[in-house]
Copies of this chain bind each other. A is one copy, B any other.
Amino acid sequence: MSERTLVQQLQSREDGPVSVSGWVETVRDQKKVQFVILRDETGAVQLVNPATRPAEDGTEQDAAALALTDLISNLSTGTFLTATGELKHDERVKLGGVEIKISGLEIAAAALPETPIAADSGLDKRMDWRFIDLRQRRNNLVFRVQTTLEHAMRSYWIERDYIEVHSPKLMASPSESNAELFEVPYFEEKMAYLAQSPQFFKQMAQVAGFGKIFEIAPAFRADPSFTSRHATEFTSIDAEISWIDSHEDVARMQEELLQTAIRAVAEKHGDEIKALFDIDVVVPELPFPRIPLAEAREIVAARGYEIPRTDGDLDPEGERQIAAHVQETYGHQFVFVTDYHPEIRAFYHMRDEETGLTKSYDLLFNGVEITTGAQREHRVDVLIEQAKEKGLDPEHLDFYLDFFRFGAPPHGGFGMGLARVLMLLLGQDSIREVTYLFRGPTRLAP
């Protein structure tokens, strides 16, 4: 690879010859001097060139100098190039206190002169040109934060001997429900389905004796909704563990995991997040508050909000009310809402023998649900009864029920939407802003 200096390394380098590579952010083409702001993945630097213009009196000028000036005058925003020149520290230069006097420019690929979007273009337009939109510092930071967040989570798990699995996304049967299912015509006129979650397969790892597993992978929902929190394809963070006593063991793992991951983000990117998003990343304290759903509903009612849903669950405004209550009472951004009625939970959630409520939780972060966690029912006869109660035909679930017929440990886990966590961590309005390439009912490209 060529001798390339990253922009962030310039400040600590001595004055002298240097080569930087990146894309043109702006050109200021003054009569006597030209400035180019060049950005790479680590920062931006000012390039400077004393302009050599054709003399009005016809005096011969240096041909190379004329050509360089002309080249810079014609640089379009977005052009990727390598600039060589003399690095000079100069505290008058606002951008990092250094500039580079250009000796040569090598253009890798020139941009068309008209950039189709600007930083303040509408979200949909920016998504049309996502590859240009992602050049913005804020957007670049989103994915560096994503990288740190995920690596901290995986490291947490691996230090604790979790196994990483890659469960299949092509399935012969639906994983969660028959609704919102993408169908894929398969060989010999069979039909496959895209996995809505790794639910069944991460449970399979438990009966396979894997003990503790995790997976970060795409999941698919043919969900026609256009909310700021839904996508037809999303990155799901999943973990599942054996030999638990209840969902409380899962919650304890998840809160530790999130504390570890958010701490890593705060340490590595806290200042930059403050500068670019005006957000103070708060490392959450343990334990996160827990509120049973029935109590949560009472709190919401006492705050004067009447939940219109009749199924006993919270609605988005109810979730915001609970989050506000938790913030006021405990100064915490997270809350586990627990003990959901079986009617509003999946058939495989285990039920508490005394209360009849599920051993499950939702985790809210700043008022938005990011997770459902639960202990799973591992006793096949109970599981079949619960499936029937939901109107499901156990025969259609046979491949899944088989998992529990040859021995099974008590187990549970959670699924968490990566984009929701990033959205809330960075104070964004929509998962579209924090997804590399969003997929929705009317969005399949680029």
Listed in ascending order, the chain A residues whose CB lies under 8 Å from chain B are 1-2, 4, 21-24, 39-42, 76, 78-80, 82, 108-112, 115-116, 129-132, 134-135, 140, 143-144, 146-147, 150-151, 154-155, 158, 161-173, 182-188, 190, 192, 194, 201, 204-205, 207-212, 217-218, 220, 222, 224, 232-233, 235, 242-245, 249, 378-380, 399, 402-410, 418, 436-437, 439, 441-442, 444-446
Contact = CB atoms under 8 A, between A and B. Distances in A.
Contacts of A129: 406
Given A80-B407, A80-B409, A444-B171, A164 B150 contact: yes
A131 B207 CA distance: 7
A166 B147 CA distance: 10
A393 B172 CA distance: 35
A399 B446 contact: yes
Nearest to A402: B446
Nearest to A378: B109
A257 to B, nearest CB: 15
Contacts of A210: 41, 134, 140, 143
Nearest to A383: B109
Contact of A209 (B112, B134, B170, B171): B134
A185 B193 CA distance: 11
B147 A163 contact: yes
Given A151-B164, A170-B233, 9 more contacts: A108-B408, A109-B408, A112-B406, A147-B162, A166-B418, A172-B444, A184-B194, A187-B222, A399-B445
> Which 9 A-B pairs give the minimum distances between C-beta atoms?
A41-B211, A134-B208, A111-B407, A78-B407, A109-B408, A172-B444, A172-B445, A147-B164, A187-B441
Given A402-B446, A403-B131, A408 B80 contact: yes
Contact of A147 (B134, B150, B158, B408): B158
A377 B380 CA distance: 56
15 contacts: A1-B243, A1-B249, A2-B243, A41-B242, A108-B378, A109-B378, A130-B204, A140-B208, A166-B436, A169-B218, A171-B444, A182-B186, A190-B444, A205-B436, A218-B218
Query: How many chain copies?
Result: 2
A379 B110 CA distance: 9
B209 A1 contact: no
B220 A170 contact: yes
B1 A245 contact: yes
Contact of A111 (B182, B224, B406): B406
Nearest to A212: B41
A194 B185 CA distance: 11
A156 to B, nearest CB: 11
A250 B24 CA distance: 25
A186 B436 CA distance: 20
B109 A409 contact: yes
Contacts of A171: 444-445
Contacts of A150: 164
B187 A244 contact: no
Contacts of A151: 154-155, 158, 164
